[in-house]
Chains A and B, each alone.
Chain A
Amino acid sequence: MARISLPRFTVFQAAVHIAALLPLIILIFNWSQDNLTFNPIQALELRTGKYALVLLILSLACTPINTVFGFRQVLKVRRPLGLYAFLYASIHFAVFIGLDYQFNLVLLQEAIFEKRYALVGFSAGLILLALALTSTRGWMKRLGRTWTKLHKFVYLAGILVIVHYVWLVKSDIREPLMYGGIVLVLLLARIPYIRKQLSRVRQHRFIRKLHETPEVLKKKTDPKFLRRIGLIYSAIMSR
């Protein structure tokens, strides 16, 4: 982990950390209160899975957001978001093997290796594990260019997670496809040609105005705006 000296920790960074950890705290609280539906183990699995997916998508979104809006602060939260995705994925997996299957190896073997949705989810988890382990500055230096190549696998993880989700639902695949669409857009945004076009968007008068005028700063702290962000956040986290 990079050393983070407190003064450099911006409000934005703090907000991201709080927002990423809050669902876990709420989940633990609800679990302790026996307030997680009548099928609490499944609820834990679904929610931790959903949070991991959302955080992974947000992590993937950082670079394109910077490309389009020139909002450099997001680059600072890219790694923590990825690590939080890994944290929730780890809990997701631990609940699956420990609480749900109670370490029953016979059933687990069938569940993980013979069922395609579990297999792709497991693969995505292994990729995230490798990326989390090599996420430190030390590993970045040690691996050099290989590090960049290795960390491109995050896109494969993103795709596998979507497939995991599509194969899990009973019939109505609209929601997983919606998340899939977002991952696809974020993936496309990395293609050099599209990336160039996107950075051109930044030069657009509207976006420039957005950055230069003080109204934007006002808007960022506008209670209405913040409330809207809060609503989107709670909508994602409560499903």
Chain B
Amino acid sequence: MQKIKSSEITTESQYLSRKDFLKGMGIVSASALVLAACSGQSVPSGDSPTGIPSEVATQGSVGSTPTEATEPVTSYDAITQYNNYYEFTTNKEGVAKLAKDFPTSPWKIEVGGLVGNPKTFDIDDLNKFSIQERTYRMRCVEGWSMVIPWIGFPLAELLQEVEPTSDAKYVRFETLYDPEKMPGQNSAWYQWPYIEGLRVDEAMNDLTILATGLYGKELLPQNGAPVRLAVPWKYGFKSIKGIVKIDLVDEMPTSLWMAAAPHEYGFYANVNPEVSHPRWSQASERRIGESGRQDTLMYNGYEEEVANMYADMDLVVNY
């Protein structure tokens, strides 16, 4: 790992304002402390975070927080200005500008399908779940990666509330379809809207979160606001953004990328240095903000938490 440049080390005032903020949010977890201690980047100070209710308590976040990335987190600027979000544009540096005025409120998420208690959540309803900070590695299938301090809650909490039936085998996610607000959706090259899916056990895994913020702030549109998935052991494209619909289904959903290039993007898309993309190696990655490459880890470093779900599976076939 690269040494942290002195210019990147958080100043004391930034550190304090950050800590106060986290306290205000009720997030004083082991992760937050680890983060504050090793955060390679300064938290943008000055603008006060909004929308994240301070009364939300994160019960049991200490200890129960799964493996956290201990590498320096990627800079806020990189996370918010280098985005793969084809709904706006395929140009990573162009997303932030095009998404600037994307309205994220009001916003509803319809949760249904094979459930006993279908429900439509207003975006503010999500605050009742155990909002917490989770710092995860994010590995893009293109071969670059980031470390992102998400704010979110386990997807399992939301799913439990709608009571999936025993027939439910998969969870299907859908992004908003609105070509007027998302100009990239005018491209006939892809089959919109964006669809992604998880097996129910994957969706229920404690690592899987719905993220509503990052860096202690509300999520910005270019990062998938108001709510997106974060599944850290899978390639980034699995972490669908701008979710409006979640359905429990009995058949494996076909994701947008599976439809676009079925031999290249499979349903599982687990990070695996041993299984190459048909056209490029997945053995190493370039961490944004650092030079050179580093080895890609099995399941992106979350082997302990997730490997058991794939124990009997041929990972080459189920790419």
Please report A residues at the B interface, Cβ cutoff 8 Å.
37-39, 41-42, 99-102, 104, 107, 110-111, 114-118, 167-168, 170-172, 174
Contact = CB atoms under 8 A, between A and B. Distances in A.
Interface of B: 75, 77-78, 81-82, 90, 92-93, 142, 144, 187, 189-190, 257, 260-261, 276, 279-281, 283-284, 286, 288-289, 291-293
A158 B81 CA distance: 34
Nearest to A101: B293
Contacts of B289: 38
A41 to B, nearest CB: 6
A210 to B, nearest CB: 38
A33 B90 CA distance: 25
A19 B292 CA distance: 31
B195 to A, nearest CB: 15
A167 B280 CA distance: 9
29 contacts: A37-B93, A38-B78, A38-B288, A39-B82, A39-B92, A39-B288, A41-B286, A42-B144, A42-B286, A99-B292, A100-B292, A100-B293, A101-B284, A104-B284, A104-B293, A107-B281, A107-B293, A110-B281, A111-B280, A115-B276, A115-B279, A115-B280, A168-B279, A171-B189, A171-B190, A171-B257, A171-B260, A171-B261, A174-B189
Contacts of A100: 286, 292-293
Q: Most chain-A CB neighbours within 10 Å: which of B78, B92, B280?
A: B280
Nearest to A43: B93
8 nearest CB pairs, A to B: A38-B82, A38-B78, A102-B292, A171-B260, A110-B281, A172-B189, A115-B280, A167-B279
Given A100-B286, A172-B189, 15 more contacts: A37-B93, A38-B75, A38-B78, A38-B81, A99-B291, A102-B292, A102-B293, A110-B281, A116-B279, A167-B279, A171-B189, A171-B190, A171-B257, A171-B261, A172-B90
B82 A117 contact: no
B1 to A, nearest CB: 14
B291 A37 contact: no
Contacts of B77: 38
A23 to B, nearest CB: 18
Given A37-B82, A38-B81, A107 B189 contact: no
Contact of A39 (B75, B144, B281, B284): B144
B273 to A, nearest CB: 10
B280 A37 contact: no
B286 A115 contact: no
B283 A110 contact: yes
A165 to B, nearest CB: 12
A107 B284 contact: yes
A111 B283 CA distance: 9
A41 B143 CA distance: 12
Contact of B281 (A41, A99, A111): A111
A101 B291 CA distance: 10
A114 B260 contact: no
Contacts of A37: 82, 92-93
Contacts of A174: 189
B142 A170 contact: yes
Contacts of A41: 286, 291
A107 B90 CA distance: 28
A107 B280 CA distance: 11
A100 B82 CA distance: 19
Contacts of B190: 171
B181 to A, nearest CB: 21
A42 to B, nearest CB: 7
Contacts of B291: 41, 99
B239 to A, nearest CB: 16
A171 B257 CA distance: 9
Nearest to A111: B281
B28 to A, nearest CB: 30
